[in-house]
Every structure is written in C-alpha cells, then in structure tokens.
Amino acid sequence: MDLGLLREGINEVIASTYQNAAPMGIIFRNGEARMVVYRGSHTAGRIEDHAWIVANFIFDPVLYVRTAFEDLPSEYFLDEEADGLTIQRLRGTEAWAAYKAIIERRTKETLVIRLSLLREEILSPVIHPVNRGFTSLIEATVHATRYQIAASPELLGWIEHHAAIIRKCGGNREQEALQLLYSFLDKILRNPG
C-alpha cells in the first residue's frame, strides 16, 4: 500500500488551518489518518469552521517552538487549491499534504478527527539524517505545552532531560530553538494559570 507522505505511527508535523499553525501528531495506522485536537484551541476551532487541515513537513526546530506558543503572521501562509478548496500551507515547507478533516468524535476535552487526503506535494526532496537534538526538541516542546495546561515538576524534569540531549546533539538551530522554548517556559512560570 502506498502511504504517501505519512508513515505508520505518529507523524510530527506543523499543521496549518486557516491563518493558524501548530505542531501536531498525525496518527497513521492501518492506512487511516487521524488527529486528536484539544477543544478550545485555535486548531480545533478552525477545523470546526473550515473542515480542512494541511500537514506541513518542515524541519525547522525554531518554527516548531514558535507555532507551539504563538500565532504566526499572515505572510507565513500561502494559499493553494486542493480538490476545489482553497487551503493554506506554510511557506518554506519541504512537502505538504492537505486533508478534509471530519470530526468523528467529541469528548469533553478533545475532537477526534479523521483525515481524508485531498492533495500532497513534495517541494524540496531533502534527506534529513536522524538528529537526536531535533527529536528531543520536539519532545521538550510537547512537554512544555503540557506543562502550560497542567504544571508538574515531572514535566519540568522531562524538559531538562531533553534539553541536555539538545545541548549535546543539536546543531545551532536546535540550540536557538531551545533558548526560545525556555523564554516561553519562563513566561509560563512567571504567569501561572
């Protein structure tokens, strides 16, 4: 079976909706793609309003951190057509896949979204060697976003664990992303709740 751009498991991407981007995990199992999105987020609201999402395959660690904690200016978005819909992908993405987003289930806290591929495109075929610093940056960012919701010393411990790996294994861009992550985390610590 051709899996397209997604691979079995959870694919970390920067998902864009209308004038919104955020790091997301797309779950791809048995040929089906799904996402779990927290209700009340910009992403959930845009999916409810527009019913599409774009998976941007981009390997900029700074952009992962930025989109986790702040909104990008409109010039970061580029309109594309996908199956008769105008969607928005990120400028500078190496590849992208547009999906129709169908809400399968609503819980008190989340939306479970089934994704149906509309169009995908590879813009810049580049090989990315596995970099533990980049992977740990993704993990530290996930822990920091969870810390923002439910502050716990355990999450801070995980962030520090991954920060040590970033310092050891990451390149300049991962180091810059780590500093940015700490600046957002500092704001969270100074302004809890």
Alpha carbon of residue 31 to chain centroid: 21
pTM, to two decimals: 0.92
Please state which of the ranges 59-68, 73-82, 122-131 shows the lowest mean pLDDT: 122-131
Q: What is the pLDDT of residue 193?
A: 57
Rg (CA), the chain: 16
- What is the residue type of 60? D
Q: What is the pLDDT of residue 51?
A: 97
Q: Are 71 and 120 in contact (CB under 8 A)?
A: no
Confidence of residue 1 (pLDDT cuts 50, 70, 90): very low
Half-sphere exposure of 60 (CA within 13 A, CB side): 16
Q: What's the average model confidence in pLDDT over 115-125?
A: 95
Each domain of the chain, given as residue ranges in start order, spans 9-122, 132-190
Please state which of the ranges 7-11, 130-134, 148-152 shows the lowest mean pLDDT: 148-152
Helix (H, G, I), strand (E, B) or coil at 34: strand
| Cβ contacts of 21 within 8 Å, gap of 6 or more | 14, 15, 56, 67, 72, 76, 77, 90
Could you check whether 9-122 and 132-190 share the same CATH topology? no
Q: What's the average model confidence in pLDDT over 149-172?
A: 95
CA–CA dist 72, 69 (Å, integer): 10
DSSP label at residue 18: T
Kindly tell me if the per-residue pLDDT of 188 is higher than 90.
Answer: no
CA–CA dist 101, 15 (Å, integer): 12
For 178, the token pair is: 């780590």
Pure H helices in the chain: 42-50, 61-69, 132-149, 153-169, 172-190
Kindly tell me if the per-residue pLDDT of 93 is higher than 60.
Answer: yes
Which is it for strands 20-29 and 77-82: parallel, antiparallel or unpaired?
unpaired
Top CATH class of 9-122 equals mainly beta
Superfamily (CATH H level) for 132-190: Hypothetical membrane protein ta0354_69_121. (1.20.58.290)
- 13-52: pLDDT as tens digits: 999 999 999 999 999 999 999 999 999 899 999 999 999 9
Q: What's the average model confidence in pLDDT over 57-61?
A: 96
